[in-house]
């Protein structure tokens, strides 16, 4: 709660996250704030002791390098020109559909989805005067909600792994069976499409759209997380448009490498593969692809590519730092056992038909508080599955409720890494993104809550 309140009040996400870590370790240190501060520093460093977490941090930096290289090559400009020259994207509504469909198609990892969709769509949103807040909402509403329903990516690998530790005999089948019960993810995806179709602007989003139609991309005093990157390389003539393949081919290689990486790391089994390793290999293969294309094309050097590589990684260093602190905050929340305690008390004191909506809401609260859906998976799935088996309830239903709540809480939280990356990819103020997105997230969550209540009543 301290991290949430400070993030909203101060707009300083890093300091707010560390304040939450400090408070957690202070509680664990007998309410000694000095010991809590020292333990908090150690807790942040301990994140690197987990190989999977370390790989997540590394590929976060590599994502920045890939996006910077693609933008510098002119690949984004070439792809945008390709779409416009064929009249595929020539209105604001079609620009929104491009952002939405990009989130659907690129399902390997949520941050990659956000950054690619933002890089491709942002110039079109600016050109057709659709607000950057709307862009941030659309890509955020289709990144994690899509990724969480795909078995063969990092999200699926994490969930299947946690389900297997809960004693389920066939975790893959159980995960697949839970997909129709992932009501928030489904509601978020469908609602965002309806928003585009009907041009629905709720609350702060309406004001943002009116401001953009008036010619102002941002509110006065707004602090976008990044400056809009130049998409063309130096020395390019106005008449020369780079090939869109400079963007498309690296992304295609990345998507193709993900299942290959899972197959290799799983010794022939996609399900048993390491999601973090597979994603690290996929992003590395994409970078090598774009480097090879540019070197063969000529006009650049390894020295220049390395400079862009380091600059791109540096652009995502704040995001990697936020992710580092979010992982540490999830660790201290796990040590405190707050999530387990809250869920355990709730399951013992409520009617059976309310368990699915309750698990959804508790999972939402935990994810909102810690800003991590993956951390919430680790807390809630091992609780939801035993409740289902003990009370004879459908395991996929309660698993879907736990996953849905984790995605909603993460979607709505101002300290979530995916929320921050969505703001960065859209080059908009982070708190403005949170404010404009929240009404839509609450509507989708309302549909999900009612759905889980109905499913609980009909058994």
Q: Is residue 144 part of a domain?
A: yes
Q: Are both 33 and 104 inside the same structural domain?
A: no
Q: DSSP assignment of 3-22, as one string? A: HHHHHHHH--HHHHHHHHHH
pLDDT of residue 108: 66
In whole angstroms, give the CA distance from residue 201 to residue 210. 10
Q: DSSP assignment of 17-51, as one string? A: HHHHHHHHHHHHTTS-HHHHHHHHHHHHHHGGGSH
Q: Are both 22 and 62 inside the same structural domain?
A: no
Q: Is residue 359 part of a domain?
A: yes
Domains held by the chain: number: 2
Q: Are both 352 and 449 inside the same structural domain?
A: yes
Q: Are both 104 and 17 inside the same structural domain?
A: no
Contact 73, 229 (CB under 8 A): no
pLDDT of residue 229: 46
**Residue 5: both structure tokens together:** 């309140």
Q: Are both 96 and 34 inside the same structural domain?
A: no
Task: Enter the DSSP assignment of 230.
Answer: P
* Number of neighbours of residue 143 by Cβ within 10 angstroms: 31
pLDDT of residue 39: 95
Task: Enter the DSSP assignment of 241.
Answer: -
Q: Are both 25 and 58 inside the same structural domain?
A: no
Q: Are both 143 and 5 inside the same structural domain?
A: no
Q: Are both 56 and 14 inside the same structural domain?
A: no
Q: Is residue 28 part of a domain?
A: yes
Alpha helices in 142-233 (DSSP H): 144-147, 154-165, 171-178, 183-198, 204-213
Closest CA to 178 of 399, 456, 455: 399
In whole angstroms, give the CA distance from residue 347 to residue 351. 8
**Residue 131: both structure tokens together:** 């607000």
pLDDT of residue 228: 56
* Number of neighbours of residue 315 by Cβ within 10 angstroms: 20
Q: Are both 14 and 97 inside the same structural domain?
A: no
Q: Are both 118 and 218 inside the same structural domain?
A: yes
Q: Is residue 195 part of a domain?
A: yes
Q: Are both 40 and 62 inside the same structural domain?
A: no
Q: Is residue 234 part of a domain?
A: no
Measured between alpha carbons, how far apart are the two ends of the chain, in Å?
A: 35
304 lies in which domain range? 51-229+239-458
**Residue 382: both structure tokens together:** 């091992």
Q: Are both 57 and 163 inside the same structural domain?
A: yes
Closest CA to 214 of 123, 128, 129, 136: 129
Contact 310, 63 (CB under 8 A): no
pLDDT of residue 234: 38
Q: Which run of H or of E encompasses 359?
A: helix 355-370
What is the chain's pLDDT, residue by residue, as a tens digit (459 residues)? 787 677 667 757 678 889 989 999 999 999 999 999 999 999 999 989 988 778 878 877 888 888 788 878 888 778 777 776 776 777 889 999 999 998 888 776 677 788 788 888 888 899 899 999 999 999 999 999 998 998 766 677 778 777 876 778 778 789 989 999 999 999 999 999 999 999 999 999 999 999 999 988 888 877 776 665 444 443 344 456 788 788 889 888 988 888 898 889 888 877 677 767 887 898 899 999 999 999 998 888 999 999 999 998 887 787 678 778 877 877 887 788 765 665 567 667 778 889 899 999 988 988 888 777 877 787 788 788 888 887 788 999 999 999 999 999 999 988 887 898 899 888 898 889 999 999 999 999 999 999 999 998 886
Q: Is residue 36 part of a domain?
A: yes
> How open is the CA angle 264-143-276, to the nearest 5 degrees?
25
């Amino acid at each position: 709660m301290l991290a949430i309140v400070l993030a909203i009040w101060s707009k300083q996400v890093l300091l707010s996250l560390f304040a939450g870590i400090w408070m957690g370790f202070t509680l664990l240190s007998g309410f000694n704030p000095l010991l809590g501060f020292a333990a908090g520093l150690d807790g942040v460093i301990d994140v690197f002791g987990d190989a999977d977490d370390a790989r997540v941090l590394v590929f976060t930096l590599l994502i920045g390098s890939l996006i910077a290289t693609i933008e510098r090559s002119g690949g984004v400009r070439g792809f945008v020109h390709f779409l416009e020259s064929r009249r595929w994207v020539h209105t604001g509504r079609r620009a929104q559909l491009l952002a939405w469909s990009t989130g659907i198609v690129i399902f390997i990892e949520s941050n990659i989805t956000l950054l690619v969709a933002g890089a491709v769509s942002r110039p079109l949103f600016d050109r057709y005067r659709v607000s950057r807040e709307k862009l941030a909402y659309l890509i955020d509403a289709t990144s994690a909600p899509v990724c969480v329903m795909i078995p063969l990516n990092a999200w699926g690998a994490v969930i299947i792994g946690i389900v297997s530790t809960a004693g389920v005999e066939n975790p893959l089948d159980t995960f697949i069976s839970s997909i129709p019960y992932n009501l928030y993810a489904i509601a978020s995806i469908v609602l965002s499409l309806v928003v585009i179709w009907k041009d629905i602007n709720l609350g702060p989003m309406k004001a943002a759209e009116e401001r953009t139609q008036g010619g102002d991309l941002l509110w006065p005093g707004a602090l976008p997380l990044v400056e809009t990157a130049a998409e063309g390389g130096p020395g390019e003539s106005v008449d020369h448009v780079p090939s869109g393949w400079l963007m498309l081919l690296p992304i295609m290689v990345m998507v193709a490498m993900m299942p290959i990486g899972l197959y290799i790391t799983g010794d022939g089994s996609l399900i048993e593969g390491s999601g973090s390793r597979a994603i690290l290999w996929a992003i590395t293969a994409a970078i090598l692809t774009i480097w090879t294309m540019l070197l063969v094309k000529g006009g650049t050097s390894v020295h220049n590519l390395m400079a862009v590589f380091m600059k791109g990684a540096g652009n995502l260093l704040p995001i990697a730092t936020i992710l580092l602190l979010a992982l540490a905050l999830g660790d201290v929340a796990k040590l405190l056992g707050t999530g387990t305690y809250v869920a355990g008390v709730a399951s013992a004191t409520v009617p059976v038909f309310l368990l699915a909506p309750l698990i959804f809401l508790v999972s939402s609260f935990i994810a909102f508080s810690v800003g991590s859906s993956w951390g919430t998976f680790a807390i809630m799935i091992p609780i939801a599955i035993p409740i289902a088996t003990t009370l004879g309830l459908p395991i996929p239903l309660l698993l879907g409720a736990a996953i849905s709540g984790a995605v909603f809480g993460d979607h709505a939280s101002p300290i979530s890494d995916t929320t921050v990356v969505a703001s960065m990819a859209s080059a908009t103020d982070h708190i403005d993104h949170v404010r404009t997105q929240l009404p839509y997230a609450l509507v989708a969550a309302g549909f999900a809550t009612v759905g889980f209540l109905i499913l609980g009543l009909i058994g």
